[in-house]
């Protein structure tokens, strides 16, 4: 599609950007770390550049690193130069740098939180942020309780009533490593914060295409009437990564693909694709609709795990023509590790809309390419007219929704081949591509944190429902002596994944 015309419609936002964003201070725990360097600071810079930050806004990094305001600003500038969506501009940087401050302290020392409070009060007066604040936990999960107790003990958490300045806390996924630990973390957070103050962040939900899924379904009359078991044969959701475990080996050895990707990213996307229309676009209405989907997922038995769940681990191979080592040869990985770097599974949603429609999920590292997409396979046309020949069956219609890297969607339809005396059909693809540069996921999510919009953030009950669904898989794997299925780096995963979907008479889509 060569050109697109857009009509801008705002839902639930002020026409004046700065009226929509209240004064605020962002306090980044672990602000001198990798997440801050690669994602948070570049995202905040881009929001500043686009005029999407409050006029009265400050950024305070809190960490044990030996830095001061000047050295932290140099740290931030290097991250922006390397990772920002937009180029660093000197005049914009000068303005943004004035917002950046650093406070050195320990996450475990109560006295440091008392000193942090004094520094925040000083910056609050300087930046006129009205004591509104959000605390971003860019720290390992083990420090979440220390940080929560520290800011609470220092009197930095205000009640969630509308008459008080707001306090919000941002927690990175994964929330726990199983159902029990997720419940424990949520219980701990509830001691210090109201649920309305907790923003459980999954950056995948901030991607433009994921956000557009609900618009695609509920703002277009041509899709919703056919979005059900009556017309859809099956759905495939794929998140493929060409990269290996890289520098995240220490984390990955305790997580694996099921915890890292399926529990959060894939199940959240599934819940948006399969949800009923929410009552409104308000956060809790949307999250209620998504929760209903997760609660309707059919329980997995031990036999189901053996038959319909495949775990794999990459061996050495070639990825994009470059030699790649095996997972067990990566630094900081155990030489007999059973951690999965690939997962494929089939699941069912037992409700009226989706009864009988299988959903196939897969994700893995060291696959041939980086690509994330949703493929909606529609049922075949009847075996008459153009589909009457049993030896040349027509390919079913399909819609693919590309999440990354080439954001957009495609419709795969049948069409007549021009010319010739005989009628010949061939599949054609109608493509839509986002022509403008979309905001990065963290930009969208940070903006929503400032405005207090929790629509794209995971609620406690949704997190625990997802773990409840996946817990039987973790339990079965834990009790099993079986090794993950080995697949060559640069392939599309272990053979068993292809055999699993083939048992249903289907095949994985080649991305």
The pLDDT tens digits of the residues spanning 330-380 come to 888 889 899 999 999 999 999 999 999 999 999 999 999 999 999 999 987
pLDDT tops 80 at residue 272: yes
List the single range of 1-10, 67-76, 453-462 with lowest mean pLDDT: 1-10
Residues 23-31 have a mean pLDDT of: 95
H-state helical runs in 50-109: 69-83, 90-97
Predicted confidence at residue 84, as pLDDT, reads 92
Instruction: Residue 9: count other Cβ atoms within 10 Å of its Cβ.
Output: 7
Percent pLDDT > 70 in the chain is 90
Q: Is 265 a catalytic residue?
A: yes
Question: How many Cα atoms within 13 Å fall on the side-chain side of residue 320?
Answer: 8
- Does the pLDDT value for residue 168 go beyond 90? yes
Q: Which of 265, 282, 433, 468 is catalytic?
A: 265
Work out the end-to-end distance of the chain between its first and last CA atoms, rounded to an integer number of angstroms: 20
Strands 358-364 and 309-315: unpaired
Confidence of residue 19 (pLDDT cuts 50, 70, 90): very low
CB-based contact 76:41 (threshold 8 Å): yes
Say whether the peptide bond before residue 174 is cis (omega within 30 degrees of 0): yes
Domain boundaries, the chain: 17-172, 206-439+466-502
At 4, is the secondary structure helix, strand, or coil?
Answer: coil
pLDDT, mean of residues 477-490: 91
Q: What is the mean pLDDT of the chain?
A: 88
The values of phi and psi at residue 374, to 5°, are: -115, 130
What does the pLDDT read at residue 436? 57
**pLDDT per position as a tens digit, 320-331:** 888 989 999 888
Residue 245 has pLDDT above 50, yes or no: yes
Do 190 and 182 meet the contact criterion of CB atoms below 8 Å apart?
no
Backbone angles phi, psi at 312, to 5 degrees: -135, 165
For residues 226 and 353, the answer to whether their CB atoms sit within 8 Å is no
| For helices 208-218 and 267-274, angle between their N-to-C axes, nearest 10 degrees | 20
Packed helices 267-274 and 283-295: angle between N→C axes, nearest 10 degrees = 100
Q: Considering just the CA atoms, what is the radius of gyration of the chain in Å?
A: 24
CATH of domain 17-172: 3.40.50.720
Angle between helix 179-192 and helix 460-479 axes, rounded to 10 deg: 150
Which tens digits make up the pLDDT trace of 382-434?
A: 666 665 676 667 678 889 988 888 778 888 776 666 666 566 666 677 787 76
Residues of the chain with pLDDT > 90: what percent?
63
Average pLDDT over residues 137-150: 92
Distance, CA of 453 to CA of 10 (rounded, Å) = 14
pLDDT score recorded for residue 232: 96
Query: How many Å apart are CA 456 and CA 445, to the nearest integer?
Result: 7
CATH architecture of 206-439+466-502: 2-Layer Sandwich (3.30)
* Beta-bridge partners for 27: 60, 135
Which tokens sit at 24?
């605020």
DSSP string, 134-199: EEEE-S-GGGHHHHHHHHHHTT----SSTTS--EEEEEESP--SSHHHHHHHHHHHHHHS-GGGEE
Better-scored residue on pLDDT, 421 or 443: 443
Report d(CA 262, CA 343) in Å as an integer.
8
Cβ distance 113 to 27 under 8 Å? no
| 419 or 145: which leads in pLDDT | 145
User: Residue 18's pLDDT is what?
Assistant: 41
């Amino acid at each position: 599609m060569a050109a697109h015309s857009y009509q801008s419609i705002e839902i639930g936002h002020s026409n004046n950007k700065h009226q929509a964003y209240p004064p605020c201070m962002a306090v980044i725990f672990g602000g001198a770390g990798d997440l801050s360097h690669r994602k948070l600071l570049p995202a905040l810079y881009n929001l500043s550049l686009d005029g999407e930050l409050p006029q009265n806004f400050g950024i305070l990094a809190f960490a044990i690193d030996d830095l001061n305001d000047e050295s932290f600003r140099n740290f931030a500038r290097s991250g922006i130069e390397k990772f920002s969506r937009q180029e660093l501009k000197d005049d914009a940087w000068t303005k943004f740098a004035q917002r950046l401050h650093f406070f050195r302290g320990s996450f475990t020392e109560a006295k440091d939180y008392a000193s942090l409070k004094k520094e925040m009060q000083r910056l609050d007066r300087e930046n006129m942020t009205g004591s509104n604040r959000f605390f971003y936990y860019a720290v390992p999960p083990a420090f979440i309780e220390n940080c929560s107790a520290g800011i609470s003990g220092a009197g930095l958490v205000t009640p969630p009533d509308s008459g008080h300045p707001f306090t919000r806390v941002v927690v990175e996924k994964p929330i726990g490593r199983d159902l029990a630990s997720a419940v424990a973390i949520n219980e701990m957070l509830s001691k210090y914060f109201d649920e309305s103050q907790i923003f459980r962040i999954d950056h995948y939900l901030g991607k433009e295409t994921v956000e557009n899924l609900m618009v695609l379904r509920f703002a277009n009359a041509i899709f919703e009437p056919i979005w059900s078991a009556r017309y859809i044969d099956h759905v495939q959701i794929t998140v493929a990564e060409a990269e290996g475990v890289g520098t995240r080996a220490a984390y990955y050895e305790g997580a694996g693909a099921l915890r890292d990707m399926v529990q959060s990213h894939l199940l959240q996307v599934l819940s948006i694709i399969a949800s009923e229309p929410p009552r409104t676009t308000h956060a809790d209405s949307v999250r209620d609709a998504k929760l209903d989907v997760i609660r309707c997922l059919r329980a997995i038995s031990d036999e189901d795990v053996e038959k319909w769940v495949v775990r794999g681990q990459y061996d050495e191979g070639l990825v994009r023509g470059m030699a790649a080592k095996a997972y067990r040869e990566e630094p900081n990985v155990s030489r007999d590790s059973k951690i999965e770097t690939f997962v494929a599974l089939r699941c069912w949603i037992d409700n009226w809309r989706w009864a009988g429609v299988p959903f196939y999920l897969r994700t893995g590292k060291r696959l041939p390419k980086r690509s994330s997409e949703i493929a909606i396979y529609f049922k075949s046309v009847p075996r008459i007219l153009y589909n009457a020949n049993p030896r040349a069956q027509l390919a079913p219609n399909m819609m693919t929704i590309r999440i990354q890297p080439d954001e957009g969607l495609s419709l795969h339809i049948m069409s007549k081949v021009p010319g010739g005396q005989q009628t010949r059909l061939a599949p054609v693809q109608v493509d839509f591509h986002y022509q403008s540069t979309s905001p990065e996921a963290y930009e969208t999510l940070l903006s929503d944190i400032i405005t207090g919009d929790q629509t794209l953030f995971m609620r406690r009950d949704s997190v625990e429902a997802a773990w409840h669904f996946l817990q039987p898989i973790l339990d079965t794997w834990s009790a099993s002596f079986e090794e993950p299925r080995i697949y060559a780096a640069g392939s599309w995963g272990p053979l068993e994944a292809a055999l699993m979907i083939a048992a249903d008479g289907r095949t994985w889509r080649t991305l």
